[in-house]
Amino acid sequence: MSDEKATVFIVEDSKTGVAALRSALSDEFRIESALSVHEALAAIPEVNPDLILLDVVMPEMDGFEVCRRLKEDPAIDGTPIVFVTAMESVEDEARGLEMGAADYITKPINPLIVRARVRNLIQLKRYRDRLLNLSAIDGLTGIANRRRYDEQFDSSWRQAYRRWEPLSLLMVDIDAFKAYNDNYGHLAGDECIKKVASLLKGMARRPGDFVARYGGEEFSCILAETDIHGAREYAHLLLEGISGLGIPHAFSPAAGVVTASIGVATVIPRDQMAPEELLEAADSALYEAKRTGRNKFCVSNFT
């Protein structure tokens, strides 16, 4: 297991129950907890724990329903959930496993058993996460690929919706890339894409910044907690950075070096609004930037 302590989130309405689990696990794991279902549902997406210990019998709603709601969030779906309960019937255990729980522990707990099961499940999750990370990387550029981008976009949208915060999206397309490939060759084209990707990756410095290769010579930048003014500034720096790479492009109508066009869109997600609307707005702004001269960014009026 990694040297960094994994986080275990305990959902248990009894302070005594929380204390028992904390005592069993706190030497090896970082512990977060909630005494109510609503507190847990609000906190878990923010904490993003490595494992959730969930009491089945809760006053607001049972653990089975809590498990179902948590599993609806793609960002949490891969997090192992372990039911902890005094209910010992085979039917209850089977129901929990059918709901997607990774394990089922009965009370009173045995600290050694709890520790071993939690340790094993977190180790399995980390192996799985490593495999997923490998499958989520674009082979040419080393940044996130389209599949990983789709997951992150959905997760960033949900977070912005929960927090009532602005979310900005930039679509970035290398100008006249076909002409570059045709005249300089595909190997040079690949090098060009890698250099632009490296620049984008280097500019994604904040925890909420995410860049991916969207396809071909197109990239996308997700900027969490970023309003339209911040998105404009980011787009301006991107344009300067890409042209500043100084990659010769004698066949570009925009300049003598490789440049890009950028579409910018910002929104605070709300009810009845789909994430695809933000993507379409950024795409439309990108089309406008290319139509009106390239080597520039255009901002969507999407709100």
Amino acid at 8: V
The whole-angstrom separation of Cα 91 and Cα 88 is 9
SS3 category, 59: coil
Q: Are 167 and 266 in contact (CB under 8 A)?
A: yes
Q: For 89-117, give one letter per residue: b (16+ CB within 10 A) or e.
A: eeebbebbeebebbbbbebebeeeebbeb
- Catalytic status, residue 217: yes
Q: How far apart are the first and last CA of the chain?
A: 45
Residue from 84, 81, 80 nearest 123 by CA: 80
Residue carrying the six token digits 């970035």: 172
Q: Are 278 and 226 in contact (CB under 8 A)?
A: no
- Annotate 176-234 with DSSP letters as a single string: THHHHHHHH-HHHHHHHHHHHHHHHHHH--STTEEEEEEETTEEEEEEET--HHHHHHH
Residue from 233, 231, 227 nearest 170 by CA: 231
Catalytic residue chosen out of the listed positions 12, 32, 93, 217: 217
Amino acid at 214: Y
Number of helices and strands in the chain (H, E): 11, 10
Phi, psi of 234 (to 5 degrees): -65, -45
Q: Active-site residue numbers?
A: 217
